[in-house]
Amino acid sequence: MAEDLTEMQHVKGRVKWFDPSKGYGFVVAAAGGPDILLHVNVLRNFGQSSVADGAEIEIVTNRTDRGVQAVEVVSIAPPERADTGVLADFAELDPETIRAAPMEPARVKWFDKGKGFGFANVFGRSEDVFLHIEVLRQSGLADLQPGEALAMRVIEGKRGRMAAEVLAWEAALSLKT
Protein backbone atom coordinates (compact mmCIF):
# COMPACT_ATOMS: atom_id res chain seq x y z
CA MET A 1 0.00 0.00 0.00
CA ALA A 2 1.31 3.48 -0.82
CA GLU A 3 2.30 5.77 2.03
CA ASP A 4 -0.26 8.46 2.85
CA LEU A 5 1.58 11.79 2.70
CA THR A 6 -1.50 13.79 3.67
CA GLU A 7 -0.66 13.39 7.36
CA MET A 8 2.37 15.72 7.21
CA GLN A 9 2.41 18.11 10.16
CA HIS A 10 4.56 20.98 11.40
CA VAL A 11 5.58 20.14 14.99
CA LYS A 12 7.47 22.09 17.66
CA GLY A 13 9.06 20.21 20.52
CA ARG A 14 12.23 19.23 22.37
CA VAL A 15 14.85 16.61 21.61
CA LYS A 16 14.31 13.84 24.16
CA TRP A 17 17.62 12.20 23.24
CA PHE A 18 19.76 11.71 20.17
CA ASP A 19 22.61 9.21 19.77
CA PRO A 20 24.82 9.83 16.70
CA SER A 21 26.38 6.37 16.98
CA LYS A 22 22.94 4.73 16.77
CA GLY A 23 21.88 7.14 14.04
CA TYR A 24 18.61 8.22 15.61
CA GLY A 25 16.83 9.75 18.56
CA PHE A 26 13.43 11.01 19.60
CA VAL A 27 11.55 14.30 19.83
CA VAL A 28 8.75 15.06 22.27
CA ALA A 29 6.10 17.33 20.76
CA ALA A 30 5.16 20.42 22.78
CA ALA A 31 1.50 19.59 22.15
CA GLY A 32 1.95 16.04 23.47
CA GLY A 33 1.48 12.75 21.71
CA PRO A 34 3.82 9.86 20.91
CA ASP A 35 7.58 10.28 20.65
CA ILE A 36 8.73 11.23 17.16
CA LEU A 37 11.61 9.36 15.53
CA LEU A 38 14.43 11.64 14.34
CA HIS A 39 16.79 9.80 11.98
CA VAL A 40 20.33 11.06 11.42
CA ASN A 41 19.71 11.38 7.66
CA VAL A 42 16.91 13.88 8.30
CA LEU A 43 19.23 15.80 10.63
CA ARG A 44 22.04 15.70 8.02
CA ASN A 45 19.68 17.19 5.43
CA PHE A 46 19.48 20.15 7.83
CA GLY A 47 23.30 20.26 7.91
CA GLN A 48 24.01 18.71 11.31
CA SER A 49 25.17 15.25 12.35
CA SER A 50 24.00 15.61 15.95
CA VAL A 51 21.70 17.64 18.17
CA ALA A 52 21.89 18.28 21.91
CA ASP A 53 19.38 16.65 24.24
CA GLY A 54 16.81 19.23 25.30
CA ALA A 55 17.25 21.39 22.19
CA GLU A 56 14.10 23.07 20.90
CA ILE A 57 13.29 21.75 17.46
CA GLU A 58 10.75 22.43 14.75
CA ILE A 59 10.15 19.57 12.35
CA VAL A 60 7.80 18.31 9.67
CA THR A 61 6.46 14.86 10.55
CA ASN A 62 4.70 12.05 8.80
CA ARG A 63 2.59 9.35 10.45
CA THR A 64 3.49 5.88 9.16
CA ASP A 65 2.42 2.38 10.15
CA ARG A 66 5.59 2.31 12.31
CA GLY A 67 4.77 5.54 14.17
CA VAL A 68 5.44 9.25 13.73
CA GLN A 69 8.73 10.19 12.05
CA ALA A 70 10.45 13.48 11.30
CA VAL A 71 10.89 13.99 7.56
CA GLU A 72 12.40 17.50 7.69
CA VAL A 73 14.08 19.72 10.28
CA VAL A 74 12.94 23.34 10.02
CA SER A 75 14.89 24.86 12.93
CA ILE A 76 16.91 23.99 16.02
CA ALA A 77 17.53 26.19 19.05
CA PRO A 78 20.06 25.25 21.74
CA PRO A 79 18.69 23.89 25.02
CA GLU A 80 18.18 26.33 27.85
CA ARG A 81 21.14 26.19 30.18
CA ALA A 82 20.36 25.30 33.76
CA ASP A 83 23.43 27.16 34.98
CA THR A 84 24.74 30.54 33.97
CA GLY A 85 28.30 29.38 34.33
CA VAL A 86 30.80 30.21 31.67
CA LEU A 87 33.93 28.32 30.69
CA ALA A 88 36.96 29.46 32.66
CA ASP A 89 38.63 30.44 29.38
CA PHE A 90 35.85 33.00 28.76
CA ALA A 91 35.42 34.25 32.34
CA GLU A 92 37.69 37.27 31.94
CA LEU A 93 36.43 38.22 28.48
CA ASP A 94 33.76 40.82 27.87
CA PRO A 95 30.69 39.05 26.35
CA GLU A 96 30.51 41.89 23.79
CA THR A 97 34.02 40.98 22.61
CA ILE A 98 32.86 37.42 21.98
CA ARG A 99 29.66 38.53 20.19
CA ALA A 100 31.70 40.94 18.04
CA ALA A 101 33.95 38.16 16.71
CA PRO A 102 32.92 37.29 13.14
CA MET A 103 31.51 33.90 12.20
CA GLU A 104 34.26 32.10 10.28
CA PRO A 105 33.87 29.08 7.98
CA ALA A 106 35.65 25.98 9.30
CA ARG A 107 35.92 22.19 9.03
CA VAL A 108 36.16 19.73 11.88
CA LYS A 109 39.61 18.13 12.06
CA TRP A 110 38.58 15.68 14.80
CA PHE A 111 36.29 15.62 17.81
CA ASP A 112 36.15 13.09 20.65
CA LYS A 113 32.90 13.34 22.61
CA GLY A 114 34.32 11.08 25.35
CA LYS A 115 37.27 13.42 25.90
CA GLY A 116 35.02 16.45 25.57
CA PHE A 117 37.04 18.31 22.96
CA GLY A 118 38.48 18.39 19.47
CA PHE A 119 39.86 20.73 16.83
CA ALA A 120 38.77 22.47 13.65
CA ASN A 121 40.54 24.55 11.02
CA VAL A 122 39.24 27.89 9.78
CA PHE A 123 39.19 28.08 5.99
CA GLY A 124 42.45 29.55 4.69
CA ARG A 125 44.31 29.22 8.00
CA SER A 126 46.56 26.36 9.08
CA GLU A 127 46.40 26.59 12.87
CA ASP A 128 44.01 24.47 14.89
CA VAL A 129 41.06 25.95 16.77
CA PHE A 130 40.11 24.24 20.04
CA LEU A 131 36.49 23.03 20.33
CA HIS A 132 35.12 22.33 23.83
CA ILE A 133 32.03 20.14 24.27
CA GLU A 134 30.32 22.77 26.44
CA VAL A 135 30.56 25.27 23.59
CA LEU A 136 28.91 22.66 21.34
CA ARG A 137 26.10 22.05 23.85
CA GLN A 138 25.49 25.78 24.23
CA SER A 139 25.20 25.91 20.44
CA GLY A 140 22.70 23.02 20.30
CA LEU A 141 25.13 20.36 19.06
CA ALA A 142 26.13 17.13 20.80
CA ASP A 143 28.93 15.75 18.61
CA LEU A 144 30.90 16.52 15.45
CA GLN A 145 32.25 14.38 12.64
CA PRO A 146 35.60 14.85 10.85
CA GLY A 147 35.14 17.03 7.78
CA GLU A 148 31.86 18.52 8.99
CA ALA A 149 31.38 22.14 7.88
CA LEU A 150 30.86 24.71 10.63
CA ALA A 151 30.76 28.41 11.28
CA MET A 152 32.60 29.49 14.44
CA ARG A 153 33.26 32.61 16.47
CA VAL A 154 36.95 32.23 17.29
CA ILE A 155 38.69 34.08 20.12
CA GLU A 156 42.22 34.15 21.50
CA GLY A 157 42.01 32.21 24.75
CA LYS A 158 44.59 31.61 27.44
CA ARG A 159 45.75 28.52 25.55
CA GLY A 160 45.42 29.77 21.99
CA ARG A 161 42.62 30.05 19.46
CA MET A 162 39.34 28.55 20.57
CA ALA A 163 35.74 28.46 19.44
CA ALA A 164 33.38 30.58 21.56
CA GLU A 165 30.32 29.70 19.46
CA VAL A 166 29.73 26.97 16.88
CA LEU A 167 26.94 26.65 14.34
CA ALA A 168 26.24 24.06 11.68
CA TRP A 169 27.13 25.61 8.32
CA GLU A 170 23.53 25.67 7.07
CA ALA A 171 22.33 27.33 10.30
CA ALA A 172 25.00 30.01 9.95
CA LEU A 173 23.99 30.67 6.34
CA SER A 174 20.42 31.35 7.45
CA LEU A 175 21.70 34.15 9.73
CA LYS A 176 22.80 36.11 6.68
CA THR A 177 19.41 36.06 5.00
Q: Where in the chain is the domain with CATH 2.40.50.140?
A: 5-77, 88-175
Put simply, whether the predicted model's pTM sits higher than 0.85 gets the answer no
Strands (E), 9-83: 9-19, 24-29, 36-39, 56-64, 67-77
Residue 139 pLDDT level (bands cut at 50, 70, 90):
confident
Task: Express each pLDDT in 43-98 by its tens digit.
Answer: 989 888 888 888 899 999 999 888 999 999 998 888 775 444 456 666 667 778 77
Domain 88-175 falls in which CATH fold?
A: OB fold (Dihydrolipoamide Acetyltransferase, E2P) (2.40.50)
- Please state which CATH number belongs to domain 5-77: 2.40.50.140
Closest of 161, 166, 40 to residue 107, by C-alpha: 166
User: DSSP H helical segments within 22-147, as ranges?
Assistant: 40-46, 95-100, 133-138
Mean pLDDT, rounded, for 167-171: 73
User: What is the per-residue pLDDT for 52?
Assistant: 86
Q: How far is the C-alpha of 47 from the C-alpha of 171, rounded, in Å?
A: 8
